[in-house]
């Protein structure tokens, strides 16, 4: 369009002999691409869209001490939290793409059963609602309960939640992932046999237990199993990663469970004489799964590297070192764009033994690293970092967020590993009080929404901020540029028409 307008103006300019008129035409012709470029830049840049200090999304009467979040798949965000009370309860909150909070600042109670609830987690149910799970001590021992809610917080399943496992053994850790059809897969460690064993469960869209009241056995060997994590292969089953402590060494295993909970694959990834910790696992969108972990073959407690592996239904596809830099690397976090590639980020101390930095690497479906050797540094800090989290953006990009206990930062890494804002990141909040544990989710519109716990007076509350395309904080003149470009061109062309008409007379 711009080229057509410029061409038309040049043709008209050649018909004008007046020097001043020619100069005016040249100025307008030059301004067209400049203004268009400016409008384009404003339309693609990201900016803070809501209140500068964030929107209060959880001004609960009691302080919030756990906060989790997931996308609502419609431009907004779902939150869940546990309040800080004598009997901690679980609450749900929805914030739409415009920052509206239809459920009010207290959210809606998901579980108010007697006893303590903690370790809350939330995922999308794939149909505009959410699935929330937590550890619950309404009985003698801690166990897992879950609830599915719609966007208004109304429950689909049993009031106060569905019990995932009916064995009385205590459960202290679990992981879950959605099946994409309104249900979820769970894995956990319990001590029904004395030492810790790993089990799994599928809860269907109606809240039924697909794999019995005791769950499916993943590994109940007499060794100690721990750190279970799970990722769904749709409704066809799930991959479970865990650590098997054998002869004093922590070895990584990956198992594949089919839709009935039967084990089809049990694959050791590391051998005796080595140590591993900090597992994460995700489906890669190509009928396989990626798993990452900290790995130590030297016996040193401060020299862990980061290893990433891909597995499929037949076994191990590849396993590579994502980072072998000096000092300690830990707590890998995986993101899968869905094309078989995988992005892994991790905590890193190579630059300072006092303060952590964050590095990331991208691997192709074939296991080839795409970014800098030993990872691209995506953030740095001279203070202690409080939490870090990431999510996928569009066109192969990834977003990360972190806090230095007061300020909240974000970073965007494009498909080639380049940073949008440098290693310092972009501050979305210059806090004067404490702000902790930021979580970032995609807004499905090319931007992101960040949620965090912020101190308001003496209590911690839930706050959210959206960063994306649009009017932002303050007046946005993009609309004016788009209006003035055609208006100016129309006026100039009209004047040209009159001049040419007079010359013909």
Using pLDDT thresholds of 50, 70 and 90, give the confidence band for residue 476: very low
Per-residue confidence (pLDDT) for residue 212, from 0 to 100: 97
User: What is the distance between the alpha carbons of residues 69 and 65, in angstroms, rounded to a whole number?
Assistant: 14
Q: List Cβ neighbours of 148 (8 Å cut-off, separation of 6 or more).
A: 125, 129, 130, 131, 132, 155, 156, 157, 182, 205, 207
Per-residue confidence (pLDDT) for residue 95, from 0 to 100: 97
Chain-wide mean pLDDT for the chain?
85
User: What is the distance between the alpha carbons of residues 59 and 308, in angstroms, rounded to a whole number?
Assistant: 40
Cβ atoms of residues 379 and 400 within 8 Å: yes
Per-residue confidence (pLDDT) for residue 102, from 0 to 100: 95
Determine the 3-state secondary structure of 425 from DSSP: coil
Cα dihedral 461, 466, 467, 471 in deg (nearest 10): -130
> Of residues 386 and 96, which shows the higher confidence score?
96
- What percent of the chain clears pLDDT 90, i.e. is strictly above it? 61
Express each pLDDT in 131-144 by its tens digit.
999 999 988 899 99
User: What is the distance between the alpha carbons of residues 318 and 327, in angstroms, rounded to a whole number?
Assistant: 25
Per-residue confidence (pLDDT) for residue 42, from 0 to 100: 38
Q: What is the DSSP letter of 424?
A: T
Express each pLDDT in 292-309 by its tens digit.
999 887 655 567 899 999
Determine the 3-state secondary structure of 2 from DSSP: helix
Q: Is the pLDDT of residue 482 over 90?
A: no
Per-residue confidence (pLDDT) for residue 405, from 0 to 100: 76
Q: Is the pLDDT of residue 388 over 90?
A: no
- The 3-class SS string of 444-500 reads CCCCEEEEEEEEECCEEEEEEEEEECCCCCCCCCHHHHHHHHHHHHHHHHHHHHHHH
Express each pLDDT in 190-208 by its tens digit.
999 988 999 999 999 999 9
Q: 17 is written with which tokens?
A: 């002999």
Express each pLDDT in 418-442 by its tens digit.
999 988 899 999 877 889 999 999 9
- Secondary structure percentages of the chain, helix, strand, coil, to 5: 15, 45, 40
**Residue 505: CA count within 13 A, CB half-sphere:** 6
Cβ atoms of residues 99 and 55 within 8 Å: yes
Express each pLDDT in 321-333 by its tens digit.
999 888 888 899 9
- Give the pLDDT mean for 241-269: 91
Per-residue confidence (pLDDT) for residue 296, from 0 to 100: 83
Locate the domains of the chain by residue range: 2-40+481-504
Q: 245 is written with which tokens?
A: 């402590």
CB atoms within 10 A of CB 325: 17
Q: Is the pLDDT of residue 157 over 50?
A: yes
Task: Give the pTM.
Answer: 0.84
User: What is the distance between the alpha carbons of residues 478 and 470, in angstroms, rounded to a whole number?
Assistant: 9
User: What is the distance between the alpha carbons of residues 392 and 395, in angstroms, rounded to a whole number?
Assistant: 9
Per-residue confidence (pLDDT) for residue 346, from 0 to 100: 93
Per-residue confidence (pLDDT) for residue 71, from 0 to 100: 97
Size (the chain), residues: 505
Per-residue confidence (pLDDT) for residue 349, from 0 to 100: 85
Per-residue confidence (pLDDT) for residue 354, from 0 to 100: 67
User: What is the distance between the alpha carbons of residues 214 and 169, in angstroms, rounded to a whole number?
Assistant: 10
> Of residues 44 and 452, which shows the higher confidence score?
452
> Edge-to-edge strands of the sheet including 329-335?
329-335, 342-348, 357-363, 376-379
Q: Is the pLDDT of residue 466 over 70?
A: yes
Question: Which residue(s) pair with 133 in the sheet?
Answer: 121, 146
Q: Is the pLDDT of residue 109 over 80?
A: yes
């Amino acid at each position: 369009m711009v080229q057509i307008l410029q061409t038309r103006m040049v043709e008209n300019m050649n018909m004008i002999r007046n020097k001043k008129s020619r100069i005016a035409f040249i100025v307008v012709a030059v301004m067209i691409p400049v203004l268009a470029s400016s409008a384009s830049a404003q339309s693609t840049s990201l900016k803070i869209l809501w209140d500068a200090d964030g929107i209060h999304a959880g001004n609960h009467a009691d302080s919030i001490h756990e906060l989790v979040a997931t996308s609502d798949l419609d431009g907004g965000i779902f939150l869940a939290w546990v309040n800080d009370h004598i009997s901690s309860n679980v609450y749900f909150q929805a914030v739409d793409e415009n920052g509206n909070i239809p459920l009010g600042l207290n959210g809606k109670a998901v579980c108010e059963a007697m006893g303590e609830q903690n370790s809350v987690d939330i995922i999308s149910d794939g149909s505009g609602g959410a699935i929330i799970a937590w550890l619950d001590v309404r009985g003698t021992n801690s166990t897992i309960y879950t609830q599915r809610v719609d966007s208004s917080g109304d429950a689909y399943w049993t009031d106060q939640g569905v019990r995932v496992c009916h064995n009385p053994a205590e459960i202290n850790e679990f992981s879950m992932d959605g099946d994409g059809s309104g249900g979820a897969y769970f894995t956990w460690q319990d001590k029904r046999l004395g030492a810790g064993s790993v089990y799994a469960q599928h809860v269907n869209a109606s809240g039924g237990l697909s794999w019995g009241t005791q769950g499916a056995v993943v590994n109940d060997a007499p060794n100690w199993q721990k750190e279970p994590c799970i990722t769904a292969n749709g409704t066809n089953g799930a991959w479970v990663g865990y650590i098997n402590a054998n002869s004093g060494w922590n070895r990584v295993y990956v198992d594949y469970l089919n839709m009935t909970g039967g084990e089809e694959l049990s694959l050791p990834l590391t051998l005796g004489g080595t140590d591993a910790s900090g597992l994460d696992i995700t489906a890669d969108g190509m009928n396989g799964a990626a798993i990452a972990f900290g790995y130590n073959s030297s016996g040193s407690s401060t020299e862990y590297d980061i290893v990433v592996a891909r597995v499929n239904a037949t076994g191990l596809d590849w396993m590579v070192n994502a980072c072998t830099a000096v000092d300690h690397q830990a707590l890998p976090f995986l993101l899968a764009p869905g094309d078989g590639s995988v992005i892994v980020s991790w905590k890193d101390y190579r630059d300072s033994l006092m303060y952590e930095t964050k590095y990331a690497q991208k691997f192709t479906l074939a296991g080839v690293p795409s970014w800098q050797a030993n990872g691209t540094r995506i953030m740095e800090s001279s203070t202690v970092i409080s939490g870090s989290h990431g999510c996928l953006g569009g066109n192969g990009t990834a977003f990360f967020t972190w806090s230095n206990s007061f300020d909240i930062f974000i970073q965007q890494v494009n498909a080639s590993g380049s940073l949008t804002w440098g290693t310092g990141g972009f501050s979305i909040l210059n806090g004067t009080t404490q702000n902790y544990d930021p979580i970032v989710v995609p807004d499905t519109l090319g931007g992101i929404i960040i949620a965090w716990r912020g101190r308001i007076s003496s209590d911690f509350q839930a706050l959210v901020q959206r960063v994306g395309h649009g009017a932002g904080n303050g007046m946005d003149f993009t609309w004016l540029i788009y209006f003035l470009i055609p208006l100016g061109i129309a006026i100039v062309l009209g004047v040209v028409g009159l001049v040419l008409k007079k010359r013909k007379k």
